[in-house]
Amino acid sequence: MISLQSKQVYPIERIISAGTYLTAGGLGFIWLLIASVLRKHVTQFLLYHILQSIFLSIAYFLLVKLAELVYVILYKIPLINAIPYFINMPIPLLFGLSIVQTVTTAVILYLAITAGMGMYSYFPWVSDIININTGRK
């Protein structure tokens, strides 16, 4: 049973919503299962972050698979095959992370920190879809 009544954000909701981003939606999914079995209400804030985390995790997985297909094609073309290498090359100034890893880590930290602060994190296009599906807007 899912209820969207409460406006107050409790500390446990902040912890779970931040943790769901850090676990790629795993913690939030488990929380939804527990709430369903115990017939507890899930607040709008928590539902928003759980659904957004799961949506982003699935979208990231599909994007990575698409990038792998493109990489296989680009690898066959001389001179252009260096582009995927440079994108994934570790950079010492970024603590040994590549550009892709730095961007994904920054996005995850932004989402987790804002959720931990009790705010509704905004990720373009995805947040709009989640807002519509949770009845927030």
| pLDDT value, residue 8 | 80
Task: Output the CA torsion 48→50→55→57 (10° steps).
Answer: 150
| pLDDT value, residue 1 | 42
pTM for this prediction: 0.84
Which pLDDT tens digit goes with each residue over 110-127?
999 999 999 999 999 999
Distance CA 52, CA 6 (A): 19
Q: Which two tokens stand for residue 51?
A: 């659904």
Q: Is 39 left (phi over 0), alpha (psi -120 to 50) or beta?
A: left
Q: What is the mean pLDDT of residues 51-80?
A: 91
Contact 44, 134 (CB under 8 A): yes
Distance CA 46, CA 121 (A): 11
Contact 119, 13 (CB under 8 A): no
Sequence letter at residue 40: K
Residue 134 pLDDT > 90, yes or no?
A: no
